[in-house]
Amino acid sequence: MKTLNKEDAKARILHASIDLFSRKGYDATRVNEIAEYAEVNKALIYYYFKNKEDILDTLLDSVMTQISAVSMEFVDNCIVPMIKDGRLDIEGDRFEFVDDQAMLYFQDNTSKHYERLVDYLLNNRTIVRILMFESLRNGKHGNSLFRFMELMDKDPDNPIYSTLQSADQDFDYYEDTVFFKFFFSLIPLVSIAAYYDEYKAKNLLNDENMKELTIRSLEILAKGAKDRHMFVLATKES
């Protein structure tokens, strides 16, 4: 086996796990196989991870952390500044804009946010695929996709919720909003990532085509939320 530094060894273990989990399935993959594929000693796997389940949890945590970071970037760089300068007021889950220009600015930044989110999920589609198929099983990771609902928790420990609440105390998550975001925003993205390669090959598309179709579809879905939750104050008052 090759001599690896500690950082490289852990990365090799994770990369090996991703490939084996995606090809063989989580349950069918043995720790011995991961060690052989990663070219590390089996004991080194248990140095970094408590067990095979801990490896999958680490992969899920990495996805959660990155999606949260992308979302926080949008909150910090778009939503909070718009609230502070008076272009946006939030009432519950209703976004009320001071004028059409403010709404267009928000929509433009929302599109850029979708693009960053799509880039991340498609670039990491193998992990997403593993999580999706494991979530359909009745095993220990059957609820893995529901971890994404943590991003919409009404919890001070949720940085997205606490940041928006600090910026505008009238902000809140409503059940129908959470339902819509999970089933008509997150799950479609997960499905696209999971079946990306098969769909691309079957329809003779390239990565650019796939990304364009994904973003366009997300924007169509988002239009339903816009019509219900986004208003221009002048229009609303007239």
**pLDDT tens sequence across 87-117:** 999 999 899 999 999 999 999 999 999 999 9
Regarding the domain delimited by 6-48, which CATH topology (the fold level of the hierarchy) does it fall under?
Answer: Arc Repressor Mutant, subunit A (1.10.10)
Contact 130, 23 (CB under 8 A): no
Give the residue-averaged pLDDT of 161-167. Answer: 95
Q: What is the mean pLDDT of residues 135-152?
A: 80
Give me the chain's average pLDDT, please.
89
The predicted pLDDT at position 7 comes to 67
For residues 222 and 193, the model is more confident at 193
Q: Are 32 and 42 in contact, with CB atoms under 8 Å apart? A: yes
**Predicted local distance difference test score (pLDDT) of residue 83:** 97
pLDDT at 46: 96
User: CA-CA distance, 64 to 62, in Å (whole number)?
Assistant: 5
Q: Which of 104, 67, 66 has its CA nearest to residue 82?
A: 104
pLDDT for position 230: 82
Asked if the model's pLDDT at residue 3 lies above 60, the reply is no
- Would the pLDDT of 58 be above 90? yes
Query: Mean pLDDT, to the nearest integer, of 65-73?
Result: 94
Output the six-digit token pair for 180: 């819509």
pLDDT higher for 31 or 138? 31
| pLDDT at residue 23, rounded to an integer | 92
Give the C-alpha separation, 234 to 196, whole Å.
42
Q: pTM of the entire structure?
A: 0.85
Transcribe 150-206 into DSSP letters.
GGG---TT-HHHHHHHHH-TTB---HHHHHHHIIIIIHHHHHHHHHHHHHHHHTT--
* The pLDDT value given to residue 236: 45
Kindly report, residue by residue over 41-54, the tens digit of the pLDDT: 999 999 999 999 99
Predicted pLDDT of residue 162: 95
Residues 9 and 3: their CA atoms lie apart, in Å, by 9
* 228 has pLDDT over 70: no
Q: Go through 60-96 and write b for each residue having 16 or more CB atoms within 10 A of its CB, e for each that does not.
A: beebeeebbebbeebbeebbbebbeeebbbbeebbbb
In the chain, which segments carry CATH 1.10.10.60? 6-48
Two tokens, residue 55: 């490896």
